[in-house]
Amino acid sequence: MDSVKLAMTRSFDQQIRRTRRLTPQDQARFVTAVSQFNQDPANPGLNFEKLGGGPKSNLWSLRASLELRILVAADDGQFVLVNAGHHDAMYAWAERRDHYVDLASEELADLQVSVPDIPLSLKRDSTRKPHQPSLPDIPEQEPDTPPQSPQASESVPTGSLLIEDLIRRVIRGDFEEWQLFLHPDQKPLVGRHWSGAARIRGAAGTGKTVIGLHRLAELARRYPDDTVLFTSNSRSLAELLERRFRNLPMAPSNVEFANIDRIVYKYDSWTPAHFYLVDQTFEAACKELIAGSPLERISPDYLKEEIERVIKGNDLQSLDHYLSVERIGRKRSFSQNLRKLVWELFERWAGKLRERNAVTFADKRIRVRDAVQSLAQAPYRCVVVDEAQDVTLVELQLIRALVAGDPVNPVPKDGILILDDPAQRIYAGGYRLGWASLDITGRAQVLKKNYRNAPAVYRAAKRVRGSELVALDHEDDKYILDAELGFHEREEDRPNLVLVDGNGELPYLCERIREFTAADKYSANEIAVFLKHNIQVEATIGFLQREGIHCVQLTRDGLTGDGIRVGTYDRARGLEFRAVFLPRLGATQFPDSNGDADGEGRNPDPDQDLESRQLELDRLYVAMTRAREHLLLIADEEPCEEIRRALAEEIILKDLRGQPIADPAPSH
C-alpha cells in the first residue's frame, strides 16, 4: 500500500482546529501522524491496527504519540478521520459504536488540518506532477535481499506544497520534534538494503544525522536479535543523539550509543598516559632532535599532529611505508629528508614513552583495533558512524572490525553506514576508504539540499569558510558545499556582526540572551554560545552565571541539565539550535596566527599556514551552521578578512562602538 485516499468528517476538522481540550503540542502531533500516514501508511511508528472483529466493524487506530490515538474509518479504499483524543477515551468511543461508523450519514470535508496559525494541507493535488526527490541515483534494491518488513514505499508521490507546509509547521513547532524530522525525500535511504558498507555525505544541514538515527531504528527492527551501534569520535554528540533517538516512536532497545574512545576503553583497560606526560615526553624528544635541523622551521604542534594523525593514525609500521604514503589532508609537502627526520622524532618519542611504561590514545586505539579483529565473533551486527571525516584510518579499521572481525572477512549486509562531510573536517589528516578494505561502489549517496538553515545563515557560513577543502577523497568533494537551500528567503534571517567597545562582548551577549528568552520564543536549550578555546568557554560561563543566566557546558564528557549550551567549536559538530551566538571574533582572536610564527627565528610556511587556517575556518563554519534561524557574531575589533568578505552581501554589520550597552540585570 504505497498511498492512501484520505478524507475527514466535519466534526473531526472542528475538533482538531478549535477544541480547547487539546494542547497545541497535541494538535501538532495529530497533524504529524496524519502526514506520516498520508506518505506511508505502513510506517511502523504509527501502529495502524484494526479495532473489533465484528462483520460491520470498520474502525482502525492510528498512533499519534504514546497517549494519543486517531480513529480512522475505512470504506472501499478510502480512509476517513473520524475522531482523535487520548487512548482510553478513543477506545471507549469506538467500543460504544461497535467499532463502526456509518460514513454515508457523515458530512465529509476536504482534508485541511491546521495547528495554531499554520495551515497544513494534506489533500493530494491530482493535477500536479509528483514531487521529484532531491536524492539522485538511488541504487536498486539488492536482488538477493528479502523484502523489507514492514513493507514501505520507496517512492513517496508527495506534492511539493505538502512538503513545504509540513516543513513550515515542524519548524515553528516543537524544536525537539524538528531535530528528528525526516524529510520525505530522504525516506528511501532509511529503508535501503545494502550488500555491504555504504556512505551518505553532504554539506551542513542536509540531514545526514537525522537519516542516521532513523536508519539505526530501521536496522534494529530488521535485526531484532542483534545489537546495532551508533558511534562518532565525540562523546557529547553520542550522548545527545542517544537522548534524541529515544524520542523516536517505538524506538528499538537493541541499540547502543558509544563514542570511539568509550569503545576503546571497553576492550582495553590499560589507562593511556595523561596529557602532561604525553606533552612532556614529546617536548623532551623535540629538544634532543630539532635544534639546528630543518624541523626547526616547523611548529611542534604540526609535528605532533603529523605523528599522531599520519604515522599512528595510519599505523605506519616502517620508515619505508612513511616515505611512500600519501599524506591526505596535509597541505605542507614533506621531502624524503624531512620525513626521515620526522620518523626519527617519532621513534625517540616512542622510546621515551616506553621508558615510562606509557601509551598515548593513538597507541591504545591501535591495540584495540588488533584485539577486536581477533575476536571469534564480531560484537555488533551494524554500525552507523557519524562525523566520519575526522576519524583516523585506525579508527575506521576498528569500526569495520566491530561488524566483520578479521580484515579478510567481508562486511555483512547493511553492516556499516558512514556519514561524513569533507567541508566540516576539524582535525588534521585523512584516509581513503579502500585503505580500510571498505568498498562502497553503488552504495554512495550525496545529499544536495539543506533543510536546516535559513538560506542567509548557510550562505554566510559558506562565504566565510571559502571553497578550499583540506582533504579531497573524491573529485566530487569540491561540490559538497553547493547545497540547494530548502527554505524561502527572509530579510530578518540575515546574520549580524555586531562590533562593540573593548570588554563589551559579554555584556552585549548577556543582553541578547535575555532578550531572546524573555519573549518566550526561545527556550534556554534552543540557544548555544560557541567559542574557539576552552578558556574562553569557562570565562563566558562564569560571566553569564554571575548575571543569573543558567548555562550548561558542552564537554568531552557530555552535558547534564538545562540551560544555554556553551562550548567550543569542536563540540558543536552534529548539533543544531534555533539561535547561535559567536563572540570573540576580532582579528587578533580568530583565527590563530600561524603556528610557525610563535617562536623567534621561525619563518612561516605558506602551505602549513593554509592548512592551519583552513581547519580554523572549518571549525567556524561548523559553529555558524548550527544555527537554524538566528546567527549573531560579536567582536570588539575589526574581524579577519574571511568574515569581512561576507559583510554587506551576506552579513549585516552593526557598529555599536561608542554606544552604551544596557546594564545587565542584577545578579541572582
CA distance 430 to 393: 7
What is each CA distance from 494 to 20, 204, 457, 585, in whole angstroms?
37, 18, 6, 18
CA distance 139 to 142: 8
What are the tens digits of pLDDT across the range 533-573? 999 999 999 999 999 999 999 876 656 678 999 999 988 88
SS3 readout for 40-55: CCCCHHHCCEECCCCC
What is the average pLDDT score of the chain? 82
Q: In the chain, which stretches have pLDDT less than 70?
A: 1-5, 13-25, 28, 77, 109-179, 471-478, 486-488, 491, 556-560, 593-608, 662-668
pLDDT score of 140:
38
* Residue whose C-alpha is closest to residue 204's, from 633, 525, 652, 575: 575
Q: Give, as one character, the DSSP assignment of residue 363.
A: H
Other CB atoms within 10 A of residue 167 CB = 17
Q: Angle between the 260-267 and 235-245 helix axes, to the nearest 10 degrees?
A: 100
What is each CA distance from 114 to 123, 124, 180, in whole angstroms?
12, 16, 21
* 24 and 116 Cβ atoms separated by less than 8 Å: yes
pLDDT score of 133:
32
Other CB atoms within 10 A of residue 47 CB = 13
pLDDT score of 315:
97
pLDDT score of 281:
96
pTM over 0.85: no
Strands laid side by side in the 49-50 sheet: 49-50, 59-63, 68-75, 78-86, 5-9, 108-109
pLDDT score of 15:
65
Output the CA torsion 326→330→331→334 (10° steps).
Answer: -60
What are the tens digits of pLDDT across the range 160-179? 444 455 455 444 455 566 56
Q: Angle between the 235-245 and 208-222 helix axes, to the nearest 10 degrees?
A: 60
Phi first, then psi: give them for residue 573, nearest 5 degrees.
Answer: -60, 135
Residue with cell 470504506: 75
* 348 and 309 Cβ atoms separated by less than 8 Å: no
pLDDT score of 153:
33
Q: Render 183-236 in DSSP notation, one character per residue.
A: PGGGHHHHT---SS-EEEEESTTSSHHHHHHHHHHHHHHHSTTS-EEEE-S-HH
How far is CA 500 from its chain centroid?
32
